Amino acid sequence: MQDTDRTAMTMATHAEPLLIAHRGASREAPENSLAAFRLSWQEGADGIEADFRLTRDGRIVCLHDDTTKRTAGADLAVAESTLEELRRLDIGAWKGTRWRGERIPTLEEVLTGLPAGKMFMIELKSGPEIIEPLRKVLAADGFPVDKLRLLSFDAWLVAGVKEQLPGIRACLNVDYRFSLRTRAFSPSRAEIRAILEQCGADGISSRAHAMVDTQFVAELHRTGKEVHVWTLDSVGVAGHYRSLGVDSIMTNCPGRLRSLLMAKRNCT
């Protein structure tokens, strides 16, 4: 058995899916901030998921959108701005005075704050130009690769990651759209399987959707693929996906959701 297959089986056989803080504990704290990540650890999250982009001067920063307008007020395009320009912005004030003064963190800063044994899911929001800077940062930090997952909606980027960073597992982000013409959601399960095969992805990071059912989860696990689901804040929905045996559940409120799931389990 290859090491990558063993890693997938280890995750898939957890008694409980890992609870991953989506952009940190972002229900309460400003998303993709060091404060949100610290709160995640305080709430007992098993890991964090965060979004990363490449700046004009080649630095990797933690931000979901391609501009800073939504979370920082000032409207700067990340790809056209330097790290120094971006660091002047306050990404916490929009969430409340408690968080005023939070700055856009670099990948290095997020890595430094990760406790031992926690999972780190890195969603890549730039194109293939981010792969080499990412390789250098990860190599310099020495973060254990078995605790890393790289995520992207771009199958070609996943393929590039698998080729250039072969020791790190990468999963394809999947969302679904309904077609009025075909009266069906796409991509279909067959299409997902084909894309995974083509790009070499180690699994999927999927929006919670009926497409992800018991049969599909079991099928992906049989082929050594991981199944991660986002973004679940409802105990009812989270409990459903827990029963399917998914590898992780991404949530904006990891502490609250864990407490509710534990209470639900104790009542059954």
Q: How many domains does the chain have?
A: 1
Distance in angstroms (rounded) separating the CA atoms of residues 204 and 214:
15
Does the pTM surpass 0.85? The reply is: yes
Quote the DSSP letter at residue 30. P
Residue found under tokens 């704050």: 113
Amino acid at 60: I
Bridge partner residues of 21 (DSSP): 48, 251
Could you tell me the two tokens for 141? 């930090």
- The domain containing residue 58 runs over which residues? 3-266
DSSP β-ladder status, 226-230 and 169-174: unpaired
Name the pairing type of β-strands 169-174 and 203-207: parallel
Give yes or no for a contact between 249 and 45, defined as CB atoms under 8 angstroms apart.
Answer: no
- Each of the 268 residues of the chain gets a pLDDT tens digit; together they read 334 443 444 454 456 899 999 999 999 999 999 999 999 999 999 999 999 999 999 999 999 999 999 999 999 999 999 999 999 999 999 999 999 999 999 999 999 999 999 999 999 999 999 999 999 999 999 999 999 999 999 999 999 999 999 999 999 999 999 999 999 999 999 999 999 999 999 999 999 999 999 999 999 999 999 999 999 999 999 999 999 999 999 999 999 999 999 998 777 6
Distance CA 35, CA 18 (A): 21
Cis status of the peptide bond prior to 4, with omega within 30 of 0: no
Per-residue pLDDT, 8: 44
Vertex 254 angle, CA 256 and 205, to 5°: 140
Instruction: Identify residue 212 by its one-letter amino acid code.
Output: V
What CATH number has the domain bearing residue 254? 3.20.20.190
Within a 10 A sphere around the Cβ of 94, how many other Cβ atoms?
A: 15
Q: What is the CA radius of gyration of the chain?
A: 18
- Separation of alpha carbons 124 and 89, rounded Å: 22
Question: Cα separation of 150 and 168, whole Å?
Answer: 7
